[in-house]
Amino acid sequence: MPHRWTLATVSSVQLAAQAVGHVVALRRRRHFDVPFLTGSPEHLVRDWLWFGTAYSAPPYLLGPQLWATARLWRGEDDRARRVLRRLGTGLAVGYPSERCSRDRVRPGGFDPVETPVVVAGWGGALALAVLARR
């Protein structure tokens, strides 16, 4: 069962990174900006409901992650593991699609607040995708 604890812990850390990322995005007005669609700083909260922010996923992705993490803390759950694998895979692709995230991990783009949020969130997403495999 140690694998279940590891997966639940990684998911919890990734959720915490998204929570911090959401606060940072709201305070610094970092709207979502992906290659095919861009939000606006004026509609940051409304856009978060559908598309997320530059550093956090929308609530319809956070809800299933919270559910799956809670299920894993209670015991082994194959369905929760599959949910986390899919979410981790999607988030692992989502982080580098965001312009602000790409800027923060490039040389010369370091920000003492935003870069650690991006690294923790993206790293957690990658770890979820890998650890949630059978």
Mean pLDDT of the chain: 95
pLDDT for 2 equals 59
- Distance of alpha carbon 10 from the chain centroid: 11
Burial 88-119 (b: 16+ CB within 10 A, else e): bbebbebbeebbbbebbeeeeeeeeebbbbbe
Which one, of 61, 65, 54, lies nearest residue 95 by Cα?
54
pTM (2 d.p.): 0.92
pLDDT for 84 equals 97
Residue 101, C-beta contacts closer than 8 angstroms, at least 6 positions apart: 54, 55, 95, 118, 122
Average pLDDT, integer, range 20-47: 94
**% of the chain exceeding 90 in pLDDT:** 96
